[in-house]
Amino acid sequence: MPFKVALISTGGTIEKTYDELHGVLHNRLSVLDAILASLELDGVEITRVPLMNKDSLDMNEADHALIADRTLALCADHDGVVIVHGTDRLTVTGERIHARMQATGGCSKAVVLTGAMRPYELRRTDSVQNLTEALCAVQILPPGVYASMHNRVLAFPGVRKDYQRMAFVKD
C-alpha cells in the first residue's frame, strides 16, 4: 500500500516565478507539479491541495487558520501532510497547527512544513532539496508538527527563522 501524503501548497518563495514584464518574482503559477515530476516517488501517493498562492508576508490570521483547519481535516484520510509555505511566516502556521493538535488531539500524523529561500526558477534553488527532504521526513517522523529545510528537521513548538543565518533554528 502506498504512503498517502496530502501536499498543501500555499505559495511562498518556492513557487515564485519571474514576471518578465515587470522584472520581479511573483506568486502567480504553481511550480510544484514540475518539481514532483522530477522526483522518484515510488511507494508514495500524493494528493495535491492547492490552498492559496501567496507570499507568506501577505498572509493574515485567517490564512493561518485556514491552513491549520485544512491540515487537521486532511489528517483523517492521509498518512501524513506536507505543507509548502513561505519561510517568513512558516513558523506562525506551524505554531498554530501544533497548538490545535495539542488542544484537540485531532491529528495523530506527522505534519511537515517546508519552503525555500530561493525560488525553483533560480539555478541555485533549494526548493527541490527541501521538498524531497520533507516528503521523506513525513514518512518516518512520529506524530507532530515539524519544519524541514536544508537537511534539518525541527519540531514545533519553538521553531523560528534566524534571518542572519537564513536558517530555521530551535529556541
C-alpha cell at position 110: 506527522
Give the pLDDT confidence score for residue 24 in this predicted structure: 57
Give the pLDDT confidence score for residue 33 in this predicted structure: 84
* Cα–Cα distance, 55 to 57 (Å, whole number): 5
Give the pLDDT confidence score for residue 162 in this predicted structure: 94
Q: pLDDT tens-digit profile of 13-37?
A: 666 555 556 555 555 556 788 889 8
**Top-level class of domain 3-170:** alpha beta
| DSSP letters for 23-36 | TEEE--S--HHHHH
Average pLDDT over every residue of 73-87: 96
Give the pLDDT confidence score for residue 83 in this predicted structure: 98
* Cα–Cα distance, 9 to 47 (Å, whole number): 11
Residue 132 has pLDDT above 60, yes or no: yes
Listed in sequence order, the residues at least 6 apart from 95 whose beta carbon sits closer than 8 Å to its beta carbon are: 156, 157, 159
Give the pLDDT confidence score for residue 158 in this predicted structure: 97
C-alpha cell at position 37: 515530476
CB 131: neighbour CB atoms within 10 A? 25
* Cα–Cα distance, 31 to 141 (Å, whole number): 26
Query: Using an 8 Å Cβ cutoff, are 108 and 61 in contact?
Result: no
Average pLDDT over every residue of 79-104: 95
Confidence band for 125, pLDDT divided at 50, 70 and 90: confident
Residue 9 has pLDDT above 60, yes or no: yes
The pTM for the full model equals 0.90
